[in-house]
Amino acid sequence: MGEPSLWELSKSKSVETYRFLWLRTFNHPVSARLDLKSDGTAELVVKVLSGQGGYKPGHLTQNRTLKVPKDSVDYFLELLNKAQFWTAPTEEEPDGVGCDGAQWIMEGVKEGQYHVADRWSPKEGPYRKAALFLAINLGGLNPRYNDVY
């Protein structure tokens, strides 16, 4: 996707950014990266590939940069806080067993710290809400109901 390494960006204490990587088995891979600015606003970079997350990822078909107002940034950060993102384990045991589903990977960089939380098809809660808020509400993606897994 040509995305920057957030781990590398964490070497700067002045950077705050979050990225949601949505790898659905049968749908296009999605990346939504929110780069915060000093005035509380942000830029959201949304990228979509042509392939399927569970198979070959394909090539870049969408690459958009959108301005995000402060109130939307604040709401996203509130959802991350409710999800206890910064103290959440990197991985959790999935609910149930299955081959099909999606990896929901949220990365964050703040004040020189890096954290990642990798979840398998979360069904509810603030982590899911935060991720979908980036991709759908702010990013303008419009997946069918059955494609949100």
- What does 9-65 look like in DSSP terms, one character per residue? HTT-TT--EEEEEEEETTS--EEEEEEE-TTS-EEEEEEEESS-TTS----EEEEEE
129 three-state secondary structure? helix
* Helix, strand and coil percent figures for the chain, each rounded to 5: 25, 35, 40
Non-local CB neighbours of 52 within 8 Å, separated by 6+ positions: 24, 25, 26, 27, 28, 29, 58
- Quote the radius of gyration of the chain (alpha carbons, Å): 15
Is residue 89 within 8 Å of residue 101, measured between CB atoms? no
User: For the segment 20-41, what is each residue's pLDDT rounded down to a tens digit?
Assistant: 999 999 999 999 999 999 999 9
- Measured between alpha carbons, how far is 37 from 69 in angstroms, rounded to an integer? 10
Query: 108 pairs with which residues across the strands?
Result: 18, 115
The residue ranking higher by pLDDT, 142 or 36, is: 36
User: For the segment 102-114, what is each residue's pLDDT rounded down to a tens digit?
Assistant: 999 999 999 999 9
Per-residue pLDDT averaged across 55-62, rounded?
94
**What structural domains does the chain harbor?**
16-138 (3.30.1560)
Mean pLDDT across the chain, nearest whole number?
94
Instruction: Note the pTM of the prediction, 2 decimals.
Output: 0.93
User: For the segment 113-129, what is each residue's pLDDT rounded down to a tens digit?
Assistant: 999 999 999 989 999 99
Per-residue pLDDT averaged across 131-139, rounded?
97
Per-residue pLDDT averaged across 138-147, rounded?
92
Residue 95 is predicted with a pLDDT of 60
